[in-house]
Amino acid sequence: MIKQISIFMKNEPGRLLKVTKILADSGIDIRALTVAETADFGILRLIVNEPDKAYRVLKEKEIAVVEHDVLGVEVNDRPGGLARIAEILNNEGINIEYMYAFVTKSHEKAYVVLRLDDLEKGKKILEKKGIRLVTTEELSEI
């Protein structure tokens, strides 16, 4: 499992700057991110190299932050790579609540961050099917 940092923030100029500056000043490296937004608010989801430290420093600065467990999955960076993961989970009745992805510089592998309705079951099924799960430490080295 990977720890994801989720930050609830107003959708206004300077909010993203504030959060990313706090992390940068604390030496925390952002490895992946996504923003889900509405007209007034957004949720910034981050995978960082030091999630516990990120959570602590953001809390100290009175930022609305929570930690969630998610899965990090290695996928071949070619057509059908993501479809295979989705099919495996679908066939087992596991819902993907949300996901986001990024590729490496070599473009050989892509990495998908998954929030599932049943993380433990999803983890076991993916591992059984030979899907490689990655850790926070591995993502920090990519």
Taken in order of first residue, the domains within the chain and their CATH numbers are 2-68 (3.30.2130.10), 69-141 (3.30.2130.10)
CA distance linking residue 39 with residue 20, whole number of Å: 21
Confidence at residue 12, expressed as pLDDT on a 0 to 100 scale: 85
| Residue type present at position 109 | K
Checking phi first, is residue 125 left (phi over 0); if not, alpha (psi -120 to 50) or beta?
Answer: alpha
pLDDT in single tens digits along all 142 residues of the chain: 899 999 999 888 888 999 999 999 999 999 899 998 877 889 999 999 999 999 999 999 999 999 999 999 999 888 898 999 999 999 999 999 999 988 776 667 889 999 999 999 999 999 999 999 998 888 777 6
Confidence at residue 1, expressed as pLDDT on a 0 to 100 scale: 87
Confidence at residue 44, expressed as pLDDT on a 0 to 100 scale: 95
